[in-house]
Structure 1
């Protein structure tokens, strides 16, 4: 038996309005494709690529699109078991159910899971209007309202949101009020994590994706129903939260082994914790040497005055690819280069751009292709 895949528009002014539809989905009564309500280009791309309106296996609750940072978005087919297990395991790891503050777009998996966790816990989420971005005053006000309930309270943020909140006293006080602040979607500046710890903010770093129903590895350790292994330097995730393949790419090699998802990330196990070294499809080969851009980005973000960084490779007639970098913050380019002087010479960027902000393609995810175009131009 099958049903049809229906579009679920998510209004950034009122993301909580989709709660009844999500309840239908995790109850096994409907299958939805969440899309941003006022982004007609993205909606049409997803409608076409995910075959909205056509039949779909009734075991699927949601088709959640990837960010599409490397091309056409893939559609992870998530079942009620995937979504509910993820929510239950999150609450178990955090110490119990509580009330959630949604501060991220609810058509991405991180935002969707804030709503699903609320449904599973039987609590009412407080949802911010994110149509005009992330505003500290609204975030702080919402945190104060949740704190007044006396319940455990949680939120989920992108690294850029955490950084913005920590720039003000109101934001810091708000962050402190949460029993846990989940941070994922992109690598987090180690300086930021250290500062948060010193300020008494309980940041929990998460690793996962649409294909795993959201974060499934917290602070390097898998959740209860998640398994982790590293083969040939590639991270594989397994367990009850793994999607049933891609809607638009049946038979994809990432799901070749039942119950497992082969990620595009490199990693290793250190002291029984998963350490993500970087995306394998973003590795830069320059003069025969290979570099995970995330390695150099972490070095850049250790420099005072560097807020965020993106390292990419662009075509070069002699090296194959030239290593280039863009960053934000108060540091000047000579200061940045001085801070990288300890690295092997071949790893130092051949060109550097100081930007007001980095282009993004999802909540906190830098658009590497857009950055590369800045240099190729």
Structure 2
């Protein structure tokens, strides 16, 4: 065992340095750091009095709120494991997370009574249900009552480096979600790494706006402002109101925000971006998927040189690559890694792996492998998946890409997305990138379907922002992509399906195409 700092110490330190400073702002209420510490230490005592102990899992199914923010610190104070769900999951989906994690406590937003019942029924380990934000049938306690416990805890429990603190569930796009085990030692590294690579110079005078659920990347991100005593501002509701986001940026002089490319594009393409003062922004961090070049250029023109990209995933808690503001440009300058997701994060190592796990030379395409203190401890209750992920001494991300001579990484797509057409590997990501450079294309999703001549043929599903003919899209690809990569068919939809995590599951796209009878006839010659 190697003793390390309990993550809850970040909250204690911020409250000691800045007791009267704003810690959390939500709707019309502001909680000072001293307020947060008081509520968290009392709620932690309340959880312990209810029988929740170190090592127990505390599942929370909630929209963003002060209780969501407080619950993670309270769980860590007693050495419990925080298990957040995405509030958009259905009751059966959330129930699977409760059962697979073995959660002893369920913290449930009062807006989700059906979820509360489903979790109780599915999880034999359950001992305690806590209602958040209002009354809930079957609840054993209320969060605000726990946060008023008469005997607050003085200090967090002792933990070691490998003590689990967070079960970070994967999106489950290729099967059942898996719980990545994040530890106190790993997450302390992540906080320091984020401050170093994503938001250098952050202080208590900064302010962070949250425009995504705290259950995943946004929750990880807000630990860094907390470490510096900077306030976190939550959107007033779970619905993204773009104009309200920009109003909050102006009102609170927001300096940083974490988002994903789709949301960043919505923020910068809405007319309200020009109606509010956003000159306070220093770091607009986007991750979760590569950003299409056309959208990146537009965002840079609207916001200036403040974009920070990182490539990561739950198992590595975002810490794989970084592309800071000075490596972004609106110009087609060959000195800049225009299509890159960045270079290795401080303290992390990256390799491109071949099918046998051997490290490939510069420029060759393979699976991206990563190692370093930001990598998780493995999948909870799934030793086989853990062994597979680390089979060759690196954590295999499942993403395909290559690295140039300077160490910049270029994503091609998921290994599972690749298809073989006429004996050649085709990676949908680069086709989607090319299509999105057409002004009429809002979204593009490319995948391979069985083809009688080529083995597999590409089908491009297009969401258009203006009428566009298939011939115009083919002409647009001329000179941009080798012809063997061109889609054999184009299909136009009003919208792409999205998972509860905001991603486009290609298995759902494929199922819908098959349901609609889209495919290639036996006499197809194209």
- Show the 5 A alignment for 1:285-364: 285-328=420-463, 329-334=465-470, 335-342=472-479, 343-364=481-502
Counterpart CA distance in 2 for 1:279 and 1:327 is 20
Counterpart CA distance in 2 for 1:45 and 1:129 is 29
CA pair 301-182 structure 1, distance change in 2 beyond 3 A: same
Residue 86 in structure 1 maps to residue 190 in structure 2: yes
Q: Is the 8 A contact 1:26 1:79 kept in 2?
A: no
CA pair 26-230 structure 1, distance change in 2 beyond 3 A: farther
Tell me how far 1:181 sits from its aligned partner.
0.6
Of 382, 395, 403, the residue aligned with 1:249 is: 382
Of 232, 243, 266, the residue aligned with 1:125 is: 232
Structure 1: state its 5+ residue gaps. Answer: none
Counterpart CA distance in 2 for 1:10 and 1:257 is 38
Counterpart CA distance in 1 for 2:100 and 2:423 is 37
Q: Which SS does the other structure have where 1:36 is aligned?
A: coil
With CA pairs under 8 Å and 6+ residues apart, which has the higher RCO, 1 or 2? 1
Q: Is the 8 A contact 2:168 2:180 kept in 1?
A: yes
Q: Is the 8 A contact 2:209 2:249 kept in 1?
A: yes
Any idea what the Cα deviations from partners look like across 1:183-237, whole Å, max 9, x if unmatched? 1111211012122223315111110010011244111122222222222222111
**Greater percentage in strand:** 1
CA pair 352-144 structure 1, distance change in 2 beyond 3 A: same
Tell me how far 1:300 sits from its aligned partner.
0.7
Q: Name the residue aligned to 1:209.
A: 313
Q: Is the 8 A contact 2:320 2:350 kept in 1?
A: no
Structure 2: state its 5+ residue gaps. Answer: 1-52, 105-124, 127-159, 324-341, 355-365, 516-526
Counterpart CA distance in 2 for 1:26 and 1:154 is 25
Of 98, 121, 137, the residue aligned with 1:47 is: 98
Q: Is the 8 A contact 1:7 1:47 kept in 2?
A: yes
CA pair 141-291 structure 1, distance change in 2 beyond 3 A: same
Q: Name the residue aligned to 2:168.
A: 64
Tell me how far 1:26 sits from its aligned partner.
4.9
How many pairs align?
367
Of 487, 498, 505, the residue aligned with 1:367 is: 505
Query: Normalization by structure 2: what TM-score?
Result: 0.65
Tell me how far 1:318 sits from its aligned partner.
4.0
Q: Name the residue aligned to 1:230.
A: 352
